[in-house]
């Protein structure tokens, strides 16, 4: 038995007009955690799809050797039979089915087509124990949080006798605790001889758990770093990913902070279904002109719910509270009214809530302010194209023209289109919810620059982010949210990752249950 | 403008030479022209198969007389489908509003214009009723309109006591079976019809030309000039040819004039207006549209009101054509109307579809009906053939999208 579990040699995969992978080599040793990093579009997912048979043998060039044997996978089932299991970023679980049913979906514990529920539940229970998930196997998957769903996915992978587990951005929607638990689980698997390929944008995680790190850039494998000694720094990885040193991850800004622009006072919101459950409890915040205010907190702290309820009561059932702009109360009870009063909300989920993907860049940009390119009734084509081109140039949206459909744009460019839409609505207050989620390092810097420019132009920015370095690097002042309340408020000079986490823990320890949506 | 409001232009592929340019153009516009080409091919095949009977003036006129009401309803259905819903009740609504008009005109001797307006108003109310349940009560449109289909069929029977009511006054019948008056009194050709066709041609060319000038002004890739000219020559030739044929018979039917005017109006609404833009946005991604400040509930409600009015209009035209309102009127119309929209390239998932496509789809089905009728193909085969055409058209649509995406 050799030390090398998987070897991919000279993999080249072309799509019409694009070479997604160009002579990529990638090898994984037995019992290691191997991180695969690179900017969006570098080819990470494509490489894993080649490996797992999503792109069948014959549609790419190059060889795959697994456990020393050459493999020709024609579909996912073929690779799963060899013990290669991939867990995608978007979880493939059926919310209405139980944990047991999900674990054995497509692989039912059966004799002659009749499912043995006893055996299924029994095995499910054992698998759940292995991944450390304390839930009844009868529970519907839709009832448990994302972190636990992730564990169900892993249990499902284990049920298939996995030898190589591939995780695509497994922690992108997990809070710090769940992320840590997941990473610990990977370490445990490593000790049992299961290898993991970890695709992640969170370089601090990569740094802490990976044994080797392979960097892809523009469809080529740039280098593989040995990280067993923990001697590879984040900066070193970033240098490999972008091909240059990124001296500052956050652009410099001289804050010119003016009057208080927006105040939210004693804001209370109940759950949309369970009326008696308060999700947002007596929150009061304010933001000044030219100021970037960060809202830090864990997943489920109620940040998105708070922001959306301020933006036209678009989440939950409004209970009480007032919003003032420049000291005067404003009506934000519907989205059109909120927009008219100068409030804009850039969603954390651009594909589901931000864009009409089938429509063009131009159509998306003008969607929230059609009055700005029409006489109220008829849209003026020339005006609309001018507006779209203006934002395309300003924000450097990379597209063939403003008529290109947004579905084909990269994540960073899609985010710029969503930003353009809200900039064109000319708000005074811009609420940005996880504006850089799933965006690569280079595009992040561009988004930060835009945010700073907006603040400099006198707008008030509320920045919601789960990435603490982002909040610390961008904000002038930070609110910490936990369990639907403001746990702390601090100027950025006094804030640190530790002080923020401490504030959260202090409130969470007060015995408030985690909010599950 | 024939383009969809959102021509999702794929990234330009470097094509070499005129041939490459041509190929690229056709590839990226296959969906837009595919249906039109299919329509022309179908007409050509029937023309040969029927030994030239297909394009006799009488038959050409009949295509429009027999399908006018389907086209009218397809205009409303297209919007319903684009906004992400469906309406199964249009046949019953058409029957009911036709019955109301008949009872008012024939039994109560009401003025035809007033009676027609009442019928259209009732169509709007019916649309509002269904739109209320769909938009504000969040009941799936399939269920609401399935209920409507039964409800209004029942009310039609009640209204008519199970008996046909007719005949209508002549002025009312003229909507469906009348022709454009010809003050020039020509014996052979109907001049007024030819003049109207000429005006229409000029309008189409003007709009197309203006669109091209705009494309140039903003530096967009546009089709090669010779194709542009060829296309316009083709369109004008087609319009004038059809008008010439019909002028040899009675001239342009009133229904056709109505259909043309409303088609033009709805093309304008979908392509150029704020409301049209919002309909596509809601259909493409209702959540994103809502968070962009679009009142999607009201919009869905209004598309149903619009559908109700157009279904009533279709019902009036159909009743006028039959010269009576019957309990069974409009049976199965919903299928023809929905099929027209889908054959014309609308997506069952919402957000995609063009008015012109739906009109061409309706005409395509109409040509199949007439052509197969002339060939005396049995009704059994006719149904089966139409069914396969529908499936084929949607398959073509889905597969071309897959290739493009």
* B60 touches B253 (CB < 8 A): no
Give the H/E segment covering residue A120: helix A117-131
- Chain A residues with CB-CB distance to B5 below 8 A: 363
Backbone angles phi, psi at A266, to 5 degrees: 45, 55
- Chain A residues with CB-CB distance to B290 below 8 A: 314, 335
Dist. CA A506–CA A508, nearest whole Å: 6
pLDDT at A515: 39
Higher pLDDT, A242 or A4: A4
| Closest partner CB to A401 (pick from B220, B289, B293) | B220
Residue ranges of the alpha helices (H) in A132-168? Answer: 146-158
Q: How confident is the model at residue A245 (pLDDT cuts 50, 70, 90)?
A: low
pLDDT at B267 over 50: yes
pLDDT at A516 over 60: no
Q: For A150-166, how does the pLDDT look when each residue is reduced to its tens digit (9 = 90+)?
A: 889 889 988 888 899 99
pLDDT at B326 over 90: yes
CATH architecture of the domain with residue range A248-342+428-517: 3-Layer(aba) Sandwich (3.40)
pLDDT at A198: 93
pLDDT at A9: 92
Dist. CA A322–CA A342, nearest whole Å: 15
| B291 with A335: Cβ contact below 8 A | yes
CATH number for the segment(s) B32-179+254-404? 1.10.3470
Residues of B with CB under 8 A from a CB of A: 5-13, 214, 217-218, 220-221, 272-275, 277-278, 280-281, 284-285, 287-295, 351-352, 405
* A241 touches A217 (CB < 8 A): yes
| B9 with A371: Cβ contact below 8 A | no
| Closest partner CB to B6 (pick from A311, A363, A368) | A363
Give the range among A168-177, A503-512, B121-130 with minimum mean pLDDT.
A503-512
Q: For A349-398, how does the pLDDT look when each residue is reduced to its tens digit (9 = 90+)?
A: 898 899 999 899 999 999 999 999 998 889 988 899 999 999 999 998 88
CA-nearest residue of chain A to B214?
A382
Domain map of chain A by residue range?
A: 4-242, 248-342+428-517, 359-426
pLDDT at B25: 61
- Quote the minimal CA–CA distance from A30 to chain B in Å: 38
pLDDT at A38: 82
SS (H, E, C) A437-464: CCCCHHHHHHHHHHHHHHHHCCCEEEEE
Which residues neighbour A386 within 8 Å (Cβ) at sequence distance 6 or greater?
A: none
- Chain B residues with CB-CB distance to A345 below 8 A: 291
CA-nearest residue of chain A to B282?
A356
pLDDT at B10: 41
Q: How confident is the model at residue B24 (pLDDT cuts 50, 70, 90)?
A: low
DSSP string, A158-191: HTT--SEEEEESTTTT--HHHHHHHHHHHHHHHH
pLDDT at A170 over 90: no
pLDDT at A86 over 50: yes
Which residues neighbour B100 within 8 Å (Cβ) at sequence distance 6 or greater?
A: B115, B118, B119, B122, B159
Class of domain A4-242: alpha beta
- Output the average pLDDT for chain B: 87
Give the H/E segment covering residue A9: strand A4-15
In chain B, residues under CATH classification 1.10.3470 are: 32-179+254-404
Dist. CA A433–CA B268, nearest whole Å: 37
**Mean of pLDDT values over A29-35:** 92
Pair of tokens at residue B122? 């009732």
Q: How confident is the model at residue A7 (pLDDT cuts 50, 70, 90)?
A: very high
Dist. CA A497–CA A507, nearest whole Å: 16
Dist. CA B221–CA B218, nearest whole Å: 9
Tell me, rounded to whole angstroms, the distance of Cα A210 from its chain centroid: 20
Dist. CA A471–CA A222, nearest whole Å: 31
* A213 touches A198 (CB < 8 A): no
Pair of tokens at residue B234? 């083709």
Backbone angles phi, psi at A86, to 5 degrees: -110, 135
Instruction: Tell which of A309, A313, A371, A381 to mutate to test the B interface (max B CBs under 10 Å).
Output: A381
| Closest partner CB to A377 (pick from B214, B273, B280) | B273
Cα-Cα-Cα-Cα dihedral of B225, B226, B232, B233, to 10°?
Answer: 150
| A407 with B405: Cβ contact below 8 A | yes
Q: HSE of B89 in the Cβ direction (CA atoms, 13 Å)?
A: 34
| A358 with B221: Cβ contact below 8 A | no
Of B283, B259, B270, B395, nearest to B350 (Cα)? Answer: B283
- Chain A residues with CB-CB distance to B352 below 8 A: 358
| B11 with A363: Cβ contact below 8 A | no
| Closest partner CB to A352 (pick from B275, B281, B287) | B287
- Chain A residues with CB-CB distance to B220 below 8 A: 401, 403
Q: What sign results for the dihedral spanned by CA atoms A377, A381, A383, A386?
A: positive
Backbone angles phi, psi at B382, to 5 degrees: -55, -45
| A314 with B291: Cβ contact below 8 A | yes
| Matching fold, domains A4-242 and A248-342+428-517 | yes
Q: For A92-103, how does the pLDDT look when each residue is reduced to its tens digit (9 = 90+)?
A: 888 889 999 999
Q: HSE of A436 in the Cβ direction (CA atoms, 13 Å)?
A: 26
Higher pLDDT, A301 or A89: A301
| Closest partner CB to B288 (pick from A353, A408, A425) | A353
Place of tokens 């972008």: A242
Of A41, A90, A88, A89, nearest to A413 (Cα)? Answer: A41
* A57 touches A80 (CB < 8 A): no
ipTM comes to: 0.82
How big is chain A by its Cα radius of gyration, in Å? Answer: 24
- Chain A residues with CB-CB distance to B217 below 8 A: 382
pLDDT at B187: 66
Backbone angles phi, psi at A435, to 5 degrees: -65, -15
Q: For A65-74, how does the pLDDT look when each residue is reduced to its tens digit (9 = 90+)?
A: 998 889 899 9
Q: How confident is the model at residue B327 (pLDDT cuts 50, 70, 90)?
A: very high
Omega prior to B167 cis, within 30 of 0: yes
| B8 with A335: Cβ contact below 8 A | no
- Chain A residues with CB-CB distance to B398 below 8 A: none
């Amino acid at each position: 038995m050799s030390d090398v579990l998987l070897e991919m040699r000279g993999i080249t995969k072309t799509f019409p007009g694009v070479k997604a992978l160009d002579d990529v080599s990638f090898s994984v040793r037995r019992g290691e955690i191997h991180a695969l990093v690179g900017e969006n579009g570098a080819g990470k997912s494509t490489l894993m799809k080649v490996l797992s048979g999503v792109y069948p043998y014959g549609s790419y060039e190059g060889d795959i050797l697994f456990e020393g044997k050459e493999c020709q996978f024609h579909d996912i089932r073929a690779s799963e039979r060899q013990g290669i299991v991939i867990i995608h970023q978007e979880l493939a679980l059926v919310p209405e089915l139980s944990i047991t049913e999900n674990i054995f979906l497509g692989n039912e514990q059966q004799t002659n087509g009749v499912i043995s529920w006893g055996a299924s539940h029994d095995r499910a229970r054992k698998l759940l124990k292995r991944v450390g998930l304390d839930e009844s196997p009868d529970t519907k998957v839709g009832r448990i949080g994302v972190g636990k769903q992730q564990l169900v996915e892993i249990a499902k992978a284990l049920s298939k006798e996995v030898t190589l587990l591939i995780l695509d951005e497994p922690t992108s929607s997990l809070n710090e605790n769940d992320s840590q638990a997941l990473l610990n689980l990977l370490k445990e698997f490593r000790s049992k001889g299961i290898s993991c390929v970890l695709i992640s944008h969170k370089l601090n995680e990569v740094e802490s758990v990976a044994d080797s790190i392979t960097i892809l850039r523009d469809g080529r494998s740039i280098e593989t770093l040995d990280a067993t000694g923990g001697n590879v720094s984040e900066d070193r990885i970033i240098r490999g990913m972008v091909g240059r040193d990124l001296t500052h991850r956050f652009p410099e800004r001289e804050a010119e902070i003016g009057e208080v622009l927006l105040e939210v006072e004693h804001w209370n919101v109940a759950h949309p279904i369970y009326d008696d459950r308060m999700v947002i409890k007596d929150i009061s915040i304010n933001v000044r002109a030219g100021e970037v205010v960060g809202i830090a907190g864990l997943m489920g702290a109620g940040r998105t719910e708070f922001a959306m309820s301020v933006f036209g009561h678009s989440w939950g059932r409004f209970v009480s509270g007032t919003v003032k702009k420049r000291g005067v109360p404003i009506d934000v009870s519907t989205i059109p009214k909120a927009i008219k009063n100068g409030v804009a909300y850039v969603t954390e989920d651009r594909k589901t809530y931000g864009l009409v993907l089938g429509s063009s860049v131009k159509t998306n940009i003008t969607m929230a302010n059609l009055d700005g390119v029409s006489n109220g009734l008829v849209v003026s084509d020339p005006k609309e194209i001018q507006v779209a081109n203006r934002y395309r140039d300003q924000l450097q949206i990379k597209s063939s023209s403003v008529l290109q459909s947004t579905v084909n744009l990269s994540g960073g460019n899609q985010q710029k289109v969503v930003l353009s839409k809200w900039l064109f609505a000319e708000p005074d207050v811009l609420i940005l919810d996880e504006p850089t989620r799933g965006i690569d390092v280079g595009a992040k810097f561009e988004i930060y620059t835009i945010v700073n420019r907006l603040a400099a132009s006198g707008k008030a920015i509320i920045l919601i982010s789960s990435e603490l370095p982002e909040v610390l690097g961008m904000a002038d002042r930070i609110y910490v949210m936990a369990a639907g309340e403001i746990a702390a408020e601090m100027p950025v000079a006094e804030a640190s990752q530790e002080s923020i986490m401490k504030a959260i823990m202090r409130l969470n320890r007060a015995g408030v249950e985690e909010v599950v949506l | 403008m024939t383009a969809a409001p959102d021509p999702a232009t794929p990234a330009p592929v470097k094509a070499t030479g005129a041939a490459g340019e041509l190929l690229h153009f056709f590839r990226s516009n296959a969906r837009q022209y595919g249906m039109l080409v299919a329509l022309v091919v179908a007409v050509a095949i029937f023309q040969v198969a029927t030994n030239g009977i297909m394009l006799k003036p009488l038959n050409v006129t009949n295509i429009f007389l027999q399908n006018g009401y389907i086209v009218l309803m397809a205009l409303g259905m297209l919007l319903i489908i684009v906004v992400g819903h469906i309406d199964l009740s249009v046949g019953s609504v058409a029957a009911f509003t036709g019955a109301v008009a008949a009872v008012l005109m024939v039994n109560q001797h009401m003025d035809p214009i007033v009676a027609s307006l009442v019928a259209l108003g009732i169509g709007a109310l019916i649309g509002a009723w269904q739109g209320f349940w769909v938009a504000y009560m969040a009941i799936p449109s399939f269920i609401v309109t399935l209920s409507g289909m039964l409800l209004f069929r029942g009310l039609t029977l009640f209204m008519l006591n199970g008996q046909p009511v007719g005949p209508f006054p002549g002025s009312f019948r003229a909507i469906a079976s009348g022709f454009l008056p010809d003050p020039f009194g020509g014996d052979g050709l109907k001049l007024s019809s030819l003049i109207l066709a000429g005006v229409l041609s000029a309008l189409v060319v003007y709009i197309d030309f203006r669109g091209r000038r705009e494309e140039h002004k903003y530096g967009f890739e546009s089709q090669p000039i010779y194709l542009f000219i060829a296309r316009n020559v083709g369109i004008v030739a087609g319009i004038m040819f059809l008008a010439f044929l019909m002028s040899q018979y009675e001239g342009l039917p009133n229904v056709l004039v109505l259909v043309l005017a409303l088609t033009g109006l709805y093309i304008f609404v979908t392509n150029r207006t704020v409301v049209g833009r919002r309909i596509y946005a809601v259909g493409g991604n209702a959540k994103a549209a809502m968070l962009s400040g679009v009142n999607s509930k009201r919009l869905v409600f209004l598309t149903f009101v619009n559908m109700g009015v157009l279904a009533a209009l279709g019902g009036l035209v159909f009743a006028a054509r039959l010269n009576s309102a019957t309990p069974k009127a409009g049976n199965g119309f919903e299928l023809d109307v929905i099929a027209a929209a889908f054959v014309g390239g609308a997506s069952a998932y919402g957000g995609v579809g063009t008015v012109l496509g739906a009109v061409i789809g309706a005409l395509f089905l109409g040509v199949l009906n007439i052509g197969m009728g002339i060939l005396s193909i049995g009704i059994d085969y006719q149904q089966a053939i139409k069914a396969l055409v529908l499936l084929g058209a949607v398959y073509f649509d889905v597969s071309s999208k897959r290739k493009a995406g």
